[in-house]
Amino acid sequence: MKQLKRYFIVAITLLSVGISAMAQDSSSSSIMRRGKNDRNKDKEQQGVQITERMQQFYEETPMSDADLSWMRVIYRQLDLTNDKNAPLYYPEEPTADQESMFRIIMRLLANNQVAAYEYLDGREVFTDQYRIKVKDMLERFHILYTEAKGSTEKNPKFTIEESDVPANEVLSYYLLERWVFDSRSNRMKTTVEAICPVLHRAGDFGGEPIKYPMFWIKFDVLRPYLTQQYIFVDDDNNLPKYTYDDFFQLAMYEGDIYKTRNLKNKSMMQLYPDPDDLKRAQDSIQNRLEKFEDKLWVPSREEVIAAREAREKAAAGDTTKIEARDEKKVEEKATSSRSSRGKKPAKVKETKVKKSSSSATRSVRRRK
């Protein structure tokens, strides 16, 4: 009886252990699935979480005027219909692992993760005084929204459906570039200071679309989020090897200069109304920017020798051309003279002299 009781207790103990193990496995698996779903849900609602240390890594340290010996502020327009700028526009609809740059910006604004500033024509001020309210911006451009859960007056958050984001109407961006020559490193440096999405919307009566600059966002604030999104840059390689941040840091975009900082605060079109003059002015500014650093350095001995040999070769080529031209002229003259000698002389028209019938003519035969 005691032995039977012992077997019964052992069986109950083993059964309870097995049930608890199965319950533990099932609970752990459900926790993992729930945690994964929660992470995906958080990612969809709030986007990529950026730590303060990561944000500080991408923040640009402002340079003092004592460290700069030259600076030029350039306003550039990126046309997204250009093939080189197309990676900023596509895909039109977000996929599982890729979305356009404007959708990233709108998600960050809706979650109150970045600050945007008013677009002031020719006067960009990135202070709290000119920081825009996202709600006012959404109403101004007629973008549908709802207030998100947990939204407060100090921390407003909004929910925007993917179909309500006007990503297909953002067909260009304005860039604020700063070209500086750093005397500490003796290097030319180009940085994108801010970016502004531009809506292209047709009027009520059709015609050409009207451009509506939306807002400015400091680029160093966007960089931690742009580094998380890999993109395609061409059709030859189907692997996304670059990020949005690489696209701007490596200057893989192409855009026209529509303004430079000047005393009159005028755009290039105001300074150069003629299209041909405008194009020449834009090309001249771009060439000066690209060749500014090269003009600062004294050429090496090898470069001086190579330049001298190139000049001598060019001069020798010009001399050879002159000699060849002179020889050609001499040959043409000789050819013309030989052709003139080979021709038969022109016949001289003979004129008959009438014999005079005068009696003063005497015959020789009769002379003695």
**Which has the closest alpha carbon to 148: 137, 134, 166, 128?**
134
Q: Are residues 179 and 306 in the same domain?
A: no
pLDDT at 329: 66
- Identify the three-state secondary structure at position 181: strand
Q: Are residues 259 and 279 in the same domain?
A: no
Q: Are residues 285 and 188 in the same domain?
A: no
Neighbours of 306 (CB within 10 A): 12
Q: Are residues 244 and 284 in the same domain?
A: no
212 phi, psi to nearest 5 deg: -125, 95
Q: Residues for the chain: how many in total?
A: 368
Determine contact, residues 254/82, Cβ cutoff 8 Å: yes
Beta bridge partners of 206: 203
Last residue within a domain, chosen from 295, 311, 327: 311
Q: Are residues 193 and 74 in the same domain?
A: yes
Between CA 168 and CA 78, with CA 177 as vertex, the angle to 5 degrees is 25
Kindly state whether residue 250 falls inside one of the protein's structural domains.
Answer: yes
- Overall number of domains in the chain: 2
Neighbours of 272 (CB within 10 A): 16
Kindly state whether residue 102 falls inside one of the protein's structural domains.
Answer: yes
Kindly tell me the burial class for residue 313, based on how many C-beta atoms sit within 10 Å of its own C-beta (0-12, 13-18, 19 or more). exposed
- Residue 296: which domain range? 272-311
Q: What does the alpha-carbon distance between residue 341 and residue 70 come to, in Å, rounded to a whole number?
A: 74
Q: Are residues 160 and 258 in the same domain?
A: yes
Kindly state whether residue 235 falls inside one of the protein's structural domains.
Answer: yes
Determine contact, residues 244/101, Cβ cutoff 8 Å: yes
Between CA 306 and CA 313, with CA 309 as vertex, the angle to 5 degrees is 140
Kindly state whether residue 366 falls inside one of the protein's structural domains.
Answer: no
Cα four-point dihedral sign 114, 120, 121, 123: negative
Q: Residue 93: CB partners within 8 Å, gap ≥ 6?
A: 162
Kindly state whether residue 121 falls inside one of the protein's structural domains.
Answer: yes
Q: What does the alpha-carbon distance between residue 326 and residue 208 come to, in Å, rounded to a whole number?
A: 60
The two tokens of residue 104 are 């990233």
DSSP, residue by residue, 316-331 = HHHHHHHHHHHHHHHH
The two tokens of residue 291 are 């060749």
**Which has the closest alpha carbon to 140: 218, 212, 217?**
212
Beta bridge partners of 77: 174, 256
Kindly state whether residue 337 falls inside one of the protein's structural domains.
Answer: no
Neighbours of 322 (CB within 10 A): 10
Q: What does the alpha-carbon distance between residue 209 and residue 214 come to, in Å, rounded to a whole number?
A: 15
Q: Are residues 149 and 290 in the same domain?
A: no
Q: Are residues 109 and 196 in the same domain?
A: yes
Q: Could you tell me where the DSSP H helices lie in 229-300?
A: 244-249, 268-271, 275-291
Number of H helices, E strands in the chain: 9, 10
- Identify the three-state secondary structure at position 63: coil
Determine contact, residues 80/177, Cβ cutoff 8 Å: no
Q: What does the alpha-carbon distance between residue 23 and residue 189 come to, in Å, rounded to a whole number?
A: 62
Kindly state whether residue 37 falls inside one of the protein's structural domains.
Answer: no
Q: Are residues 257 and 301 in the same domain?
A: no
Q: Are residues 248 and 283 in the same domain?
A: no
Q: What does the alpha-carbon distance between residue 292 and residue 81 come to, in Å, rounded to a whole number?
A: 30
Q: Are residues 290 and 224 in the same domain?
A: no
Kindly state whether residue 317 falls inside one of the protein's structural domains.
Answer: no
Each residue's pLDDT, cut to its tens digit, for the chain (368 residues) gives 555 556 556 566 656 555 554 444 443 333 233 343 443 444 444 455 667 666 666 666 666 666 677 889 999 999 999 999 999 999 999 988 889 999 999 999 999 999 999 998 767 889 999 999 999 999 999 999 999 998 998 999 999 999 999 999 999 999 999 998 877 777 788 999 999 999 999 877 777 899 999 999 999 999 999 999 999 888 888 888 999 999 999 999 999 999 999 888 899 999 999 999 999 999 999 998 888 877 777 778 888 899 899 999 888 876 666 666 766 665 666 666 555 555 555 554 554 544 444 444 444 444 44
Strands in 86-236 per DSSP E: 146-147, 158-159, 170-182, 187-203, 206-213, 217-218, 230-231
